[in-house]
Structure 1
Amino acid sequence: MDSQTNDPLLETVEGSTTGHGGSVELERVLSDTETPLMRRFTAASIIEVNLLYKLAAPAVMVYLLNIAMSMSTRIFSGQLGNMELAAASLGNQGIQLFAYGLLLGMGSAVETLCGQAFGASKFDMLGVYLQRSAIVLLVTSIPISMIYVFSKPILLLLGQSPSMASDAALFVYGLIPQVFAYAINFPIQKFLQAQSIVAPSAYISVGTLVVHLILSWVTVYKLGLGLLGASLTLSLSWWIIVVGQFVYILRSDRCKETWTGFNTKAFGGLWDFVKLSSGSAVLVLIAGLLENPQLSLDALSVCTSVNALVFMVSVGFNAAASVRVGNELGAGNPKAAAFSVLTVTTVSFLIALVEATIVLSVRDVISYAFTGGETVANAVSDLCPLLAITIVLNGIQPVLSGVAVGCGWQAYVAYVNVGCYYIVGIPLGFLLGFHFNFGVKGIWSGMIGGTGMQTLILLWSTFRTDWNKEVEKTNKRLNKWEANKETLFKE
């Protein structure tokens, strides 16, 4: 016992599990070849799990709270009637998720660059990256908002009834301000995550959810504004989150070095930012398509709702993975980057196994949380094995996508995702669903086949990576962006 207590390797671990101290200590522990392998592994695991927990736990909470706002809006709309519930669901699933996925994906470009710059201690560049990302996303929001404006004819073109299209369009009109809130919120969120500042966003989201519920009750029921009131309240709530986070950046001592105010340097290198953002957008959009088969069946709706909820846990680990890998690459720690990948993938996979086990254990009753009827319950129970497989795959694939963001591989992973979805997932789903008459189970099995292939390719690509070369690429990328900054400054 005394020898373990006096072990200098384990003694240093306890005080080095945050910030750059944890990163430096992790690399030192992994490089200490004189220490026995198991002791090194134990010490490194303690450091990495602590770093990961402090990032992933608040991030998971933020994403769950954000989805809770949208779900509560649909609940309030549903209390107005079945038509209103259907319209709100159509507006959310058919149009809002497109904007959310596109802008969230483009926002991950700032996650790559901020994470690597923070690891390299180039703190002033984080604020520049934040502003560049916000500019690109705000410009992108203009054509997206036009889709919202013309949502009624678009929905009619897609075969919706005139009454449904009118109600859904009314709901969507109130979401137009939300698009521009997304454009600012996602870069701010990634800017903070890159510095391991996650808890404040969670606190702000908790407070905003409370305000959102109160305001929704007032606007929908007391003021009688109906669907438009519900969606306008949702837009306002997202702007509250944006303002709250930006006020934190301005007032927090933790952001003094990374936010130095607005400047014209943010307008430099925008085209490179657009290219990196575009790769990110395709990555997230295709991942979103893989997760939602868009079939109007009660049983599938229950399963996809459960899947969407537990998927937020994986999204939290996605954010944590990108931050950890980006920080370590920026700091020039190849061993720590590789160990971070191994740790976050393993932890997320084990959590997914637990989630899948729970789903299978309650497969016969899980539908009653959403709707009644033994027929639906039996159908859901029949689909739950596919749901469990999807949950397990989602415990790996989003994390590897987060690793890709941390490394700046968005374009490559986008090609992988597009190929697996269009070349494997869709054709296999149609073949099983229609040719072999397996119906919903066949289509979902095809999606699983595409996701499975995608996961295997990402695993192969990630674990054959030369992390020393990734450090060199990161240095070149940061030097390039630094040169852009200096050129503009001289001008």
Structure 2
Amino acid sequence: MDNSIQESLLRTAAEENGDLKGRIWEESKKIWRVALPSVIARVASFGTIIVTQSFVGHISSLDLAAYASFRPYSSSNSLIYIGMSSATETLCGQAYGAKQYHMMGIFLQRSWLVDLATVTVLLPIFIFATPIFDLLGEKHDIAKSAGRISLWFILYVYSIAFSMTIQMYLQAQQKNMIIAWLSAMQFVVHIPLSWLFVYVLDWGTNGAMAALSISSWLLNRINYAFLFAVVFDSLELWYYAILVLLAGYMKNAEASISAFSICLNVLAWIFMIIVGIMGSATVRVANELGKGDAKATKFSIKVLISTSVMIGLLFCILCLVFGNKLGYLFTNEEEVAQTVSDLSLLLASSVLLSSIYPVLSGVAVGAGLQTKAAIINLVCFYVIGLPIGAVLGYVFLLQVKGIWLGMISGVIVETLALSFMIWRTNWDEEVSITSARLNRWYLESVEENKTTFLHS
């Protein structure tokens, strides 16, 4: 081959390689502009749950088991509202991409009404927690303590109904940095507030729960002030709640529930980082589809998944290194801490696996494919993961490890199913669907009404 031709080909390849690096860098900046504030907000907000559990665990092992038993149900209900609010994320994100800005406030108000109605309908779960746990066969002393703690969670879940919809509304416009700083401030305030109520005022577990309620509503009130100044997931959390319930039937139920819940909460806290990227995936996909750019949508998905996997790998390594010390952050009970240590390998595996499927779920939400993603979630966790966990835990006597292995199996199948769904999606067709959806829900703005009137 002629030297000049070779040089030309090499130069072209170098230019394309440089262009690719530039595109990845630009896409990464767009992703992290949305993801970083969301990560900070979610890690800080969920950190208040972790801090509360730590205070409760050092007060009473019984209350720790009770908190561990009910907390997944509280989060499951919270995630129902968040899952329902994902429609806000989809519609606001696509409306923002299509420059239909006035529709975003309309979608936010509708989301508030739906979420508040849902919170109210689900209140009996919180009010009658003790008889519900008794009916499910939980030890009565744990059920009684859980019933007392569950009443404190009512204030918390009502605050979630508002705060998450506001966050999704702002996130769709890439204006959520203020939420990140406010959530971080909430976390900083929550620690001394819990210490004051628990140790200085000696209010015990009630003090820890009161601090959680106050800090959550403090964030909410500031969110409102800022908002008016600037004018699938749920199925999975219910699944975790059932797994904690299954752990309660094991030998030494108190230690099993506590250890299992500690590992789940650590997983969930790390998961908040991935959920932040998931929110960015929703926004990026929704925005690009709203703009009508299928090629940019596909490129964004590749960068999102690569970024999330690298983060998951980092935390997987940290869980392996510090797994034997983890339990002592939450309890002084040697048996509980040792059980947590025994689960550290499975925890690390779950962290890595959980760095993929949430981002794929975010892509599905951004494209308005929540229904398909929810069906996949339902089948993978409830039809596959839960039965496998029960069989391994009780029939093969693997105890808590068996339940966790079942959970991992559900995650693996869901990851494969979502990957296949995203791979098979025709993004050019999704652009057309998005355009039709926005036109269907569209209402004219005040300015457009004036223009129409003047030209009529």
| TM-score bracket for the superposition, by shorter chain length | 0.7 to 0.9
What is residue 314 of structure 2 aligned with on the other side? 354
Deviations 1:123-153 (A, max 9, x none): 0111111000000001111112232222232
* Structure 1 position 399 matched with structure 2 position 359: yes
Identify which range, 328-337 or 437-446, moves more after superposition: 437-446
What is residue 434 of structure 2 aligned with on the other side? 474
Q: CA deviation at 1:183?
A: 1.4
Q: CA deviation at 1:455?
A: 0.5
Could you tell me which runs of 5 or more consecutive residues in structure 1 were left unpaired when the two chains were aligned.
1-32, 253-258, 260-282
Q: CA deviation at 1:360?
A: 2.3
CA distance in 2, matches of 1:397, 1:236: 33
Matches within 5 A, 1:349-388: 349-371=309-331, 380-388=340-348
| 1:330 maps to which of 272, 286, 290 | 290
| 1:86 maps to which of 39, 48, 65 | 65
* Structure 1 position 303 matched with structure 2 position 263: yes
CA distance in 2, matches of 1:431, 1:191: 43
Q: CA deviation at 1:85?
A: 3.3
Q: 1:153 to 1:369 in 2, by over 3 A?
A: closer
**AA matched with 1:324:** R
| 1:169 maps to which of 138, 147, 150 | 147
What is residue 11 of structure 1 aligned with on the other side? none
Deviations 1:348-387 (A, max 9, x none): 0111112212322344444444456887676555533322
Matches within 5 A, 1:167-206: 167-206=145-184
Identify which range, 328-337 or 75-84, moves more after superposition: 75-84
* Structure 1 position 286 matched with structure 2 position 235: yes
| 1:321 maps to which of 266, 275, 281 | 281
* Structure 1 position 43 matched with structure 2 position 22: yes
* Structure 1 position 56 matched with structure 2 position 35: yes
- Give identity over the alignment, percent: 36
**AA matched with 2:302:** L
Determine helix, strand or coil for the equivalent of 2:442: helix
* Structure 1 position 429 matched with structure 2 position 389: yes
**AA matched with 2:111:** S
CA distance in 2, matches of 1:440, 1:230: 28
What is residue 4 of structure 1 aligned with on the other side? none
User: RMSD between aligned alpha carbons?
Assistant: 2.8
Determine helix, strand or coil for the equivalent of 1:175: helix
What is residue 48 of structure 2 aligned with on the other side? 69
CA distance in 2, matches of 1:446, 1:76: 30
What is residue 8 of structure 2 aligned with on the other side? none
Identify which range, 218-227 or 341-350, moves more after superposition: 218-227
Determine helix, strand or coil for the equivalent of 2:79: helix
CA distance in 2, matches of 1:168, 1:370: 18
Q: 1:115 to 1:66 in 2, by over 3 A?
A: same
Contact 2:78 2:161 (8 Å CA) reproduced: no
What is residue 152 of structure 1 aligned with on the other side? 130
| 2:110 maps to which of 129, 132, 152 | 132
Matches within 5 A, 1:400-479: 400-479=360-439
Deviations 1:186-209 (A, max 9, x none): 110100111112210011112222
Contact 1:117 1:125 (8 Å CA) reproduced: yes
Identify which range, 429-438 or 114-123, moves more after superposition: 429-438
Contact 2:77 2:234 (8 Å CA) reproduced: no
CA distance in 2, matches of 1:119, 1:452: 33
Q: CA deviation at 1:161?
A: 4.4
CA distance in 2, matches of 1:117, 1:461: 24
**AA matched with 1:182:** I
Q: 1:115 to 1:316 in 2, by over 3 A?
A: same
Q: 1:151 to 1:435 in 2, by over 3 A?
A: closer
Determine helix, strand or coil for the equivalent of 1:75: helix
Q: 1:284 to 1:213 in 2, by over 3 A?
A: same
What is residue 23 of structure 1 aligned with on the other side? none
**AA matched with 1:233:** A
Contact 2:94 2:286 (8 Å CA) reproduced: yes
CA distance in 2, matches of 1:375, 1:91: 21
Q: CA deviation at 1:290?
A: 5.0
Q: 1:441 to 1:222 in 2, by over 3 A?
A: closer
Matches within 5 A, 1:254-265: 259=231
Matches within 5 A, 1:104-143: 104-143=82-121
**AA matched with 1:119:** G
Contact 2:239 2:382 (8 Å CA) reproduced: no
Determine helix, strand or coil for the equivalent of 2:122: helix
CA distance in 2, matches of 1:86, 1:376: 11
Determine helix, strand or coil for the equivalent of 2:292: coil
Determine helix, strand or coil for the equivalent of 1:174: helix
Contact 1:178 1:238 (8 Å CA) reproduced: yes
**AA matched with 2:211:** T
Deviations 1:44-63 (A, max 9, x none): 10111111122212211111
CA distance in 2, matches of 1:207, 1:301: 26
Q: CA deviation at 1:422?
A: 2.6
Q: CA deviation at 1:157?
A: 2.0
What is residue 235 of structure 1 aligned with on the other side? 213
**AA matched with 2:381:** Y
Q: 1:217 to 1:355 in 2, by over 3 A?
A: closer
CA distance in 1, matches of 2:192, 2:325: 32
Determine helix, strand or coil for the equivalent of 1:196: coil
Q: CA deviation at 1:337?
A: 1.0
Contact 1:174 1:229 (8 Å CA) reproduced: no
CA distance in 2, matches of 1:175, 1:361: 34
Determine helix, strand or coil for the equivalent of 1:233: helix
* Structure 1 position 209 matched with structure 2 position 158: no
Determine helix, strand or coil for the equivalent of 2:343: helix
Contact 1:175 1:232 (8 Å CA) reproduced: no
Q: 1:88 to 1:362 in 2, by over 3 A?
A: closer
Q: 1:395 to 1:414 in 2, by over 3 A?
A: same
